[in-house]
């Protein structure tokens, strides 16, 4: 079975794959033999914009990569209301989805609901579907870290005022009509675009 994970580094893709590619045409490396930190630094210094890391065992791909970096787990939601609008936040100059790190002993589901509530003020959230995980590498406290975010579809009947969590740098919270999502994603993150593509919102 062919497996591929997409990990974004500085908004550029690194692919984990168990499929052999023509090494003469691609930045193609063997996962277990590669200096991962050195490779990540090339992304952050714009010396590389795409590459493939290969391992033959599909079950080991993401496990082996996780071992190379400190891990941060997060939960997030694509929340919709009865009108079919989707809940977006605006932070750091980009449109994003509410999400955040897990507290100690917290589950992905609980973190996702809590973070959507805290970042937007929306209540009465019900998880309806478990979606994919997204991955990106960031630099903090002199370390490169891998953030793994588990996403969920959610619904709510909340129709009161929205409250952006200002202390988290959120400037706006907005319900967005489905036909307006593509426009918002033009000023968003690669992982968010990937998430919407995979959930068929953009079909």
pLDDT tens-place string over residues 102-111: 999 999 999 9
Say if 118 falls within a structural domain.
Answer: yes
Say if 156 falls within a structural domain.
Answer: yes
Q: How many domains does the chain have?
A: 2
- 79 and 140 belong to one structural domain: yes
**Contact by Cβ (8 Å): 43, 14:** yes
- 179 C-beta neighbours (distance < 10 Å), count: 8
- DSSP symbols for 122-182: ----EEEEEEEEEEEEEEETTEEEEEEEEEEEEE----S-----GGGTEEEEEEE-GGGHH
CB-based burial, 44-73: b 16+ in 10 Å, e otherwise: eeeebeebbbbbeebebbbebbeebbeeeb
pLDDT digits (tens, 9 = 90+) for 2-13: 678 999 999 999
pLDDT recorded at residue 23: 57
- 127 and 189 belong to one structural domain: yes
- 87 and 122 belong to one structural domain: yes
**What pTM does this model have?**
0.92
Say if 203 falls within a structural domain.
Answer: no
Say if 113 falls within a structural domain.
Answer: yes
pLDDT recorded at residue 201: 57
Domain boundary among 40, 66, 92: 66
Query: Which residue, 118, 100, 101, 119, is CA-closest to 170?
Result: 119
Give start and end residues of each alpha helix (H) in 5-102.
36-44, 61-66
- 100 and 56 belong to one structural domain: no
- 155 and 181 belong to one structural domain: yes
pLDDT recorded at residue 1: 65
- 61 and 100 belong to one structural domain: no
- 40 and 82 belong to one structural domain: no
- 145 C-beta neighbours (distance < 10 Å), count: 14
- 9 and 106 belong to one structural domain: no
Q: Give CA–CA dist 184/133, Å, rounded.
A: 21
pLDDT recorded at residue 203: 38
User: How far apart, in Å, do the first and last CA atoms of the chain sit?
Assistant: 26
Q: Is residue 157 packed enough to be buried (19+ CB in 10 Å), middle (13-18) or exposed (0-12)?
A: exposed
- Residue 27 lies in domain: 4-66
- Residues (pLDDT < 50) of the chain are 203
pLDDT recorded at residue 24: 59
Say if 108 falls within a structural domain.
Answer: yes
- 128 and 42 belong to one structural domain: no
């Amino acid at each position: 079975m062919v497996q591929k994970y997409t990990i974004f580094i500085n908004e550029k893709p690194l692919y984990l794959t168990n499929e052999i590619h023509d090494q003469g045409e691609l930045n193609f490396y063997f996962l277990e033999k590669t200096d991962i930190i050195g490779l990540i630094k090339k992304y952050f210094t714009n010396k590389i914009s795409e590459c493939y890391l290969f391992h033959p065992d599909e079950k080991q791909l993401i496990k082996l990569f996780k071992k190379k970096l400190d891990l941060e787990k997060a939960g997030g939601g694509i929340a919709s209301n009865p009108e079919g609008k989707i809940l977006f936040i605006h932070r750091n100059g980009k449109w994003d989805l509410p999400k955040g790190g897990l507290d100690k002993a917290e589950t992905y589901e609980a973190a996702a609901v809590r973070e959507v509530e805290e970042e937007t003020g929306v209540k009465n959230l019900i998880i309806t579907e478990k979606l994919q995980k997204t991955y990106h590498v960031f630099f903090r406290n002199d370390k490169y870290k891998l953030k793994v975010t588990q996403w969920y579809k959610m619904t709510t009947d909340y129709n009161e005022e929205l409250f952006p969590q200002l202390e988290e740098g959120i400037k706006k919270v907005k319900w967005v009509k489905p036909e307006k999502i593509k426009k918002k994603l033009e000023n968003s993150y690669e992982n968010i675009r990937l998430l919407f593509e995979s959930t068929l919102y953009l079909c």
